[in-house]
Amino acid sequence: MPKPNAKFDLADVRMRTTRYAPYLYRYVASLIPVERPGLGTFSVDQYGRVYYDPALFAKYSLDQCVIILLHEVLHPLLRHFQRAEDFLGENPTPQQWEWWGIACDLAINQVLRETRREIKNAVGHVVEVWKPEMPTDWLLPEQFDFPLNLQVEEYFRLLQKKDEEEQQQQPQESQDESGEGDQGDQPGDQDGDQDGDQDGDQDGQQDNQNGQDGDSDGQGQEEDQGEGQEQSGQGGQAGGSGEPYTGSQQPEPGKGTGGSGADGQPKEWECPPPERSETEGHDGYERDRITESAVLAIDERAKSQGDVPGALSREVEEILRPKVDPHRKLLAAVRNATMFSRGVGDYTFSRMPRRHLPGGVRCPAHQRPEPRIVLIIDTSGSMGKSDLEKAAGIVAHELKKIPGGRLHVITGDTSEAWAKEVFRADQVCFEGGGGTDMGYLMEQASKMRPRVDAMIVVTDGWTPWPKRRLPQKCVVCLTEKPERYNTPPEWCDVIVLE
């Protein structure tokens, strides 16, 4: 292992990645280097550029530089910048951006910690194990008491929940402290002293400001020019290769702050997009092609050698074979349930057809009745707040897709507690809170007149099911993953609302 003051450069760091993660070398080699003195570390943007400070080669060892570079590389490779846009929406708050950066690092640092390569001899025995050097101050899930091997979005929700719990505890603690301190305070004397001191300080500051007005007038133009130059260098407007970085932002890989490859937000030290910059960068097509090649290499390595970290294998599996959106699957199931429930329609003489036969012969017009769908929502005691929120989301989703824009909703636990035809999701009343028997509610809905074509059941699954197969098409939306004891009948279409 080289010493921290060894002489090496970016090419050596790139080549060294083959020692620990050979399946990532092609992606690392495709990065466009941009030298940025004063940056202090590596940083990768969303256009395939790697920014680096030559001083870090003397500050860190070769293996430490490799792990920092791999950390930054995994952000754009796993599409964190695109996932941030899809997950956070258009106008996230600064707090949400901070949570997202920490969540990305929590997910990536696990991958790097599990990265290892076993060197085997001719007979297949392991003779050496190569593992990179992990910095001791990087963020890990156990520091927050979070589970391992979760995705970025799941860590984000845990961070958000943790922050909300801390905010709820702070008012109680501050109220207790203020109650104890009021007993021994003498507000009259303190207020008088503070008012006098503040008045004197404000008068002195006002005199100083008036005396400086004349001097500052001559410098106004120079300050305006300087501010304009500083602002033009922010938000992805930094210069090209070789220019030093002196901005206020500072990347800290592994600690929640990195390049735009992690969140898609331009940083002070980054160059503008390729179409507006002299510095080369990958456009959308080239970026997708390189990413696809790297993902396929990781998947092939995981199947042939088995030395790819499990968390990275799961991320690659999600990219190559993504899960079906539950809402799209639900829409397809409902369409399939209602498309052939009443045939192709019927004929009616209540309105005239568009075409007329010669001779005054009257022909019937064709009509197709609207399908009748019933939504049953489990409101038993086992359904938590998040489960009911998912149920409300299903109501809002189905109202947009079902012909007529109205939906018959039934809520209850062991019996029907509330039933009504709704036009908006906020009209649903979640009444119940006792035991659970969705089988009874489904059987009662099956006997409704006019006849029900399909029924959607939203439940956590911990319920008895109908003892016989119902004639209607049944779609069960589970708010949690099914287990052995809460699996719906095989004649139901099951959708897990993750």
219 — pLDDT class (breaks 50, 70, 90): very low
Residue 222 pLDDT: 43
Which of the two residues, 230 and 496, has the higher pLDDT score?
496
Q: By the 8 A CB rule, do 36 and 244 touch?
A: yes
Query: Which residues have CB under 8 Å from 103's CB, separation 6+?
Result: 152, 153, 155, 156, 159
Q: Are 42 and 30 in contact (CB under 8 A)?
A: no
* Domain 326-343+369-496 = CATH 3.40.50: yes
Q: What pLDDT does residue 170 have? A: 75
Q: What is the pLDDT at residue 378?
A: 93
Mean pLDDT, to the nearest integer, of 394-409? 75
pLDDT digits (tens, 9 = 90+) for 237-271: 444 456 888 888 889 998 989 999 999 999 999 99
Q: Give Dmax over CA atoms of the chain in angstroms.
A: 107
Instruction: Kindly tell me the sign of the dihedral angle through the C-alpha atoms of 223, 239, 73, 235.
Output: positive
Q: What is the pLDDT of residue 404?
A: 64
Q: Which of 391, 364, 376 is nearest to 446 (CA)?
A: 376
pLDDT in tens, 77-132: 999 999 998 888 878 899 999 999 999 999 999 999 999 888 888 887 878 888 87
Spatial distance between the Cα atoms of 344 and 293, rounded to a whole number of angstroms: 47
pLDDT of residue 149: 87
Residue identified by tokens 């984000």 is 156
CA 269 from chain centre, in angstroms, equals: 25
Which residues touch 316 (CB under 8 Å, ≥6 apart)?
295, 298, 299, 302, 308
pLDDT value at residue 109: 94
Per-residue model confidence (pLDDT) at position 327: 61
Secondary structure of the chain as H, E, C letters: CCCCCCCCCHHHHHHHHHHHCHHHHHHHHHCEEEECCCCCCEEECCCCEEEECCCHHHHCCHHHHHHHHHHHHHHHHCCHHHHHHHHHCCCCCHHHHHHHHHHHHHHHHHHHHHCCEEEECCCCCEEEEECCCCCCCCCCHHHHCCCCCCCHHHHHHHHHHHHHHHHHHHHHHHHHHHHHHHHHCCHHHHHHHHHHHHHHHHHHHHHHHHHHHHHHHCCHHHHHHHHHHHHHCCCCCCCCCCCCCCCCCCCECCCCECCHHHHCCCCCCCCCCHHHCCCCCCCHHHHHHHHHHHHHHHHHHHHHCCCCCHHHHHHHHHHHCCCCCHHHHHHHHHHHHHHCCCCCCEEECCCCCCCCCCCCCCCCEEECCCCCEEEEEECCCCCCHHHHHHHHHHHHHHHHHCCCCCEEEEEECCCEEEEEEECCHHHCCCCCCCCCCHHHHHHHHHCCCCCCCEEEEEECCCCCCCCCCCCCEEEEEECCCCCCCCCCCCCCEEEECC
Which of 446, 488, 481, 494 has the alpha carbon at shortest distance from 463? 488
Binning pLDDT at 50, 70 and 90, where does residue 214 land? Answer: very low
pLDDT at 432: 81
Q: Are 444 and 461 in contact (CB under 8 A)?
A: no
For 172-197, letters b (16+ CB in 10 Å) and e give eeeeeeeeeeeeeeeeeeeeeeeeee
pLDDT at 298 over 90: yes
Residue with more model confidence, 436 or 336:
436
pLDDT value, residue 297: 93
| Confidence at 236, pLDDT banded by 50, 70, 90 | very low
pLDDT score for 348: 65
Q: What spatial distance separates the first Cα and last Cα of the chain, rounded to whole Å?
A: 45
In whole angstroms, what is the distance from residue 163 CA to residue 159 CA?
6
CB 449 within 8 A of CB 461: no
Whether omega for the bond prior to residue 450 falls within 30 degrees of 0, making it cis, is: yes
pLDDT for 158: 93
Name the residue with tokens 């209607």: 472
Poorest-pLDDT segment among 15-24, 84-93, 177-186, 216-225:
216-225
Quick count: other Cβ atoms within 10 Å of Cβ 358? 5
Rounded to an integer, the average pLDDT of 459-481 is: 89
Provide the mean pLDDT of the chain. 79
In this prediction, residue 401 carries a pLDDT of: 66
pLDDT average, residue stretch 351-380: 74
Give yes or no for residue 206 having a pLDDT over 90: no
Q: Can you read off the two tokens belonging to residue 223?
A: 């300050």
Confidence of residue 373 (pLDDT cuts 50, 70, 90): confident
Give the start-to-end residue ranges of the domains of the chain. 10-168+238-320, 326-343+369-496
Rg from Cα positions in the chain:
32
Which pLDDT score, from 0 to 100, does residue 228 have?
40
- Give 344's contacts (C-beta < 8 A, 6+ positions apart): 368
Percent of all residues in the chain with a pLDDT value above 70, rounded to a whole number: 73
Residue 495: φ, ψ to 5°: -130, 130
